[in-house]
């Protein structure tokens, strides 16, 4: 695997976290992997990750503040070796768009479970939980691929 794209709904919380975690791991493991993130929706294009995602990443030594949301497009399916959906809805949307090089992140640590949107939890704790899930899954993904 030479490139991976992490995709969630808005590209402001989960996929930027996966992007930052993957870049840090790739550096630590001396892997030459291109990493990016995107969203299936278009309402956050150009925005920075949400404040809590930036905060939880920074608590783990990762700076994602420079990332900007973008919408996934069909060209990404040819550009990236692997497209990684953060949940079932995104997986289905990507599949409907024609992605074939597609997996769910939860398959790499949570028996296929979705990585939930942290806003469905109460308070900042949701970002801790989602960070842990993404970290475990990305580590497993990189050890398999």
Catalytic machinery residues: 8, 14, 117
d(CA 37, CA 92): 17
Q: Among residues 74, 72, 6, which one has the least CA distance to residue 42?
A: 72
Q: What is the DSSP string of the chain?
A: --EEEEEESSSSSHHHHHHHHHHHHHHHTT---EEEEEES-STTTTPPPPHHHHHHHHHTT---TT----B--THHHHH-SEEEESSHHHHHHHHHHT--SEEEGGGGTSTT-----GGGSSTTHHHHHHHHHHHHHHHHHHHH-
d(CA 44, CA 139): 27
């Amino acid at each position: 695997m030479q490139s991976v794209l992490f995709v969630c709904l808005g590209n402001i919380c989960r996929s930027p976290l996966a992007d930052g975690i993957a870049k840090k791991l790739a550096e630590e493991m001396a892997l030459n992997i291109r990493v990016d993130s995107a969203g299936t929706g278009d309402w956050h294009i150009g925005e920075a990750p949400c404040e809590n995602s930036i905060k939880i990443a920074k608590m783990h030594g990762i700076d994602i503040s420079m990332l900007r949301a973008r919408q996934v497009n069909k060209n990404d399916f040819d550009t990236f070796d692997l497209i990684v959906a953060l949940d079932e809805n995104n997986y289905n949307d990507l599949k409907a768009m024609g992605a074939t090089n597609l997996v769910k992140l939860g398959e790499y640590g949570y028996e296929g479970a979705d990585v939930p949107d942290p806003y469905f939890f109460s308070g900042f704790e949701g970002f801790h939980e989602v960070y842990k899930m993404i970290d475990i899954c990305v580590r497993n993904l990189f050890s398999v691929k």
